Amino acid sequence: YSSLAGLVNRNPRFSTLNDEDIRYFEGILGNKNVIQDEERLIAANTDWMHKYKGSSKLLLLPQSTDEVSQILKYCNSRCLAVVPQGGNTGLVGGSVPVCDEVIINLSLMNKILSFDKVSGILVCEAGCILENIITFLDNEGFVMPLDLGAKGSCQIGGNVSTNAGGLRLLRYGSLHGNVLGLEAVLANGTVIDMLKTLRKDNTGYDLKHLFIGSEGSLGIVTKVSILTPPKLSSVNAAFLACKDYISIQKLLQEAKRRLGEILSAFEFLDGQSMNLVLNHLEGARNPLPASMHNFYVLIETTGSDESFDKQKLEAFLLHSMENELISDGVLAQDINQASSFWHLREGIPEALMRAGAVYKYDLSITVEKLYDLAEEMRTRLGNVANVVAYGHLGDGNLHLNISAPQYDDKVLSQIEPYVYEWTSKHRGSISAEHGLGLMKANKIFYSQSHETVQLMASIKNLLDPNKILNPYKVLPDSVSS
């Protein structure tokens, strides 16, 4: 992939790692958590999409907040650049070094610290893997308000740092609402304890929000406290087909109105996404095999009364069929069938990787206009690439993916800046949930005003004056170097 990796010049302000630095880190962490092994470094230098490759010579695995603090204090005093890393599932080149930044991976800080069954408040270390938290909560009779396809590898610290959205934001809201508190370490090693477990706390500025979604550019998140809802007894999933995009929009409106409080997901995929996933994902089965359709929707309901919920869902489906909003559909008969629907939806990113090169865009656009962009891209690209569109329709979040046999600058020039300009013209966001990372740091002005970006730069300067935290990411070169 040629468009970014080679284009960034190493900032000469940063020092280069030497033997004395290694000895210092070994003194803090012990030899076994100071990693210089080539194979492990290759993995830590390479992102999930295999698109971005750094050349870091050092991976550090702290086991406590105090160790993170000592590492950062030292790096700041030496002007050594660092990249915070969680599960390394980020999709915008934010979690891997661009040049030789020291990688600080939180995976050994993976303890659940407390869980209050009365309030549903969980406190844990940032390196906990999301799926482990989901399982822990399930055993306690609660659910995690966040779920996403990368749950088996991503860490809660990474989720918080990207403000990940995922499959149930429609129901539970974003991490800005569900994270009640956090602990973060600033670039100079200062530990900021904001690890509150309160629903309400209006004592001054709510600074935790600076760390939610700032992609490791303002501090390293070390602990998190999250509000989790109780697990409800009745979960249903329906996989539906629609003939056109107008029908999907009407279906969404009806789902919100008729399913109301039990609606917990409304995901969509187009026919091209379905084809791709059937061709490239192991174990994928079309739940509606009789014929191919233009659009598919996965609706999930979660409620507390089985017969009431079923009745509601069936009435909604009947109404949708009578009004020709859906052309076919199937209601999961058991948990296995429901998981096979989710496997299909959550497996699209992996299927795209298997299909070849992928240009990935993550956009917020009003639902009404959202699919126009996919259609315009199809017209622009003709048969040189496959336009695959899916996403969290209930949140107005389109995942526009252009799949091609290999990366090609000619294809890229057909896509960019068109996609960004189109999104900006329609007052959308060029990063709905994945963040800016390296990929979009210099594209920020498509979605934010100059004044806003300048204020972000001032905050960055205050918290990390030497700019050692995740350089070349999030903020554009014009304000960050």
Q: Which residues bind ligand FAD (CB under 6 A)?
A: 48, 83-91, 94-95, 106, 126, 148-150, 154-155, 157-159, 161-162, 164-167, 215-216, 220-221, 349, 433-434, 437, 470
Residue 404's closest CA among 373, 456, 358?
Answer: 358
CA distance 226 to 206: 15
Tokens of 218: 């303002």
What φ, ψ does residue 20 adopt, rounded to 5°?
A: -65, -40
Nearest residue (CB) to ligand FAD, 154 versus 277: 154
Residue 238's closest CA among 322, 307, 341?
Answer: 341
Nearest-CB residue for ligand MLT = 349
Collapsed DSSP state (helix, strand, coil) of residue 360: strand
Nearest-CB residue for ligand FAD = 158
Smallest distance from ligand MLT to CB 399, Å: 4
CA distance 107 to 28: 17
Nearest residue (CB) to ligand FAD, 149 versus 476: 149
For strands 357-364 and 397-404, give the pairing.
Answer: antiparallel
Tokens of 234: 């009745």
Nearest residue (CB) to ligand FAD, 243 versus 343: 343
Q: Which does 159 bind (CB under 5 to 8 A by kind): ligand MLT, ligand FAD, none?
A: ligand FAD
Collapsed DSSP state (helix, strand, coil) of residue 33: helix
Residue 82's closest CA among 477, 472, 481, 480?
Answer: 472
Smallest distance from ligand MLT to CB 16, Å: 35
> Which DSSP helix (H) or strand (E) runs through 156?
helix 156-162
CA distance 295 to 289: 13
CA distance 236 to 243: 23
Smallest distance from ligand FAD to CB 413, Å: 26
CA distance 423 to 472: 23
Give the bridge partners for 104, in sequence order: 60, 84
- 61: amino acid identity, one letter: L
CA gyration radius, the chain: 23
Q: Which does 348 bind (CB under 5 to 8 A by kind): ligand MLT, ligand FAD, none?
A: ligand MLT
**The tokens 């979605």 sit on which residue?**
447
Q: Which does 162 bind (CB under 5 to 8 A by kind): ligand MLT, ligand FAD, none?
A: ligand FAD
Residue 212 to residues 161, 223, 446, Cα–Cα distance (Å) = 5, 12, 21
DSSP track, 259-311: IGGGEEEEEEEEHHHHHHHHHHSTT---SSTTS--SEEEEEEEEES-HHHHHH
Q: Where are the beta strands (DSSP E) in 332-426?
A: 357-364, 386-392, 397-404
Tokens of 53: 């490759």
Smallest distance from ligand FAD to CB 65, Å: 11
Nearest residue (CB) to ligand MLT, 25 versus 239: 239
Nearest residue (CB) to ligand MLT, 183 versus 362: 362
Nearest residue (CB) to ligand FAD, 56 versus 88: 88
Nearest residue (CB) to ligand FAD, 165 versus 329: 165
Q: Is the Cβ–Cβ distance between 425 and 376 less than 8 Å?
A: no
Binding stretches for ligand MLT (CB under 6 A): 149, 348-349, 362, 399
Nearest residue (CB) to ligand FAD, 154 versus 463: 154
Q: Which does 470 bind (CB under 5 to 8 A by kind): ligand FAD, ligand MLT, none?
A: ligand FAD
Q: Which does 225 bind (CB under 5 to 8 A by kind): ligand FAD, ligand MLT, none?
A: none
Nearest residue (CB) to ligand FAD, 174 versus 302: 174
Q: Which does 154 bind (CB under 5 to 8 A by kind): ligand FAD, ligand MLT, none?
A: ligand FAD
Smallest distance from ligand MLT to CB 290, Å: 26
Nearest residue (CB) to ligand MLT, 125 versus 346: 346
What φ, ψ does residue 93 adopt, rounded to 5°?
A: 70, 25
Q: Which does 399 bind (CB under 5 to 8 A by kind): ligand FAD, ligand MLT, none?
A: ligand MLT
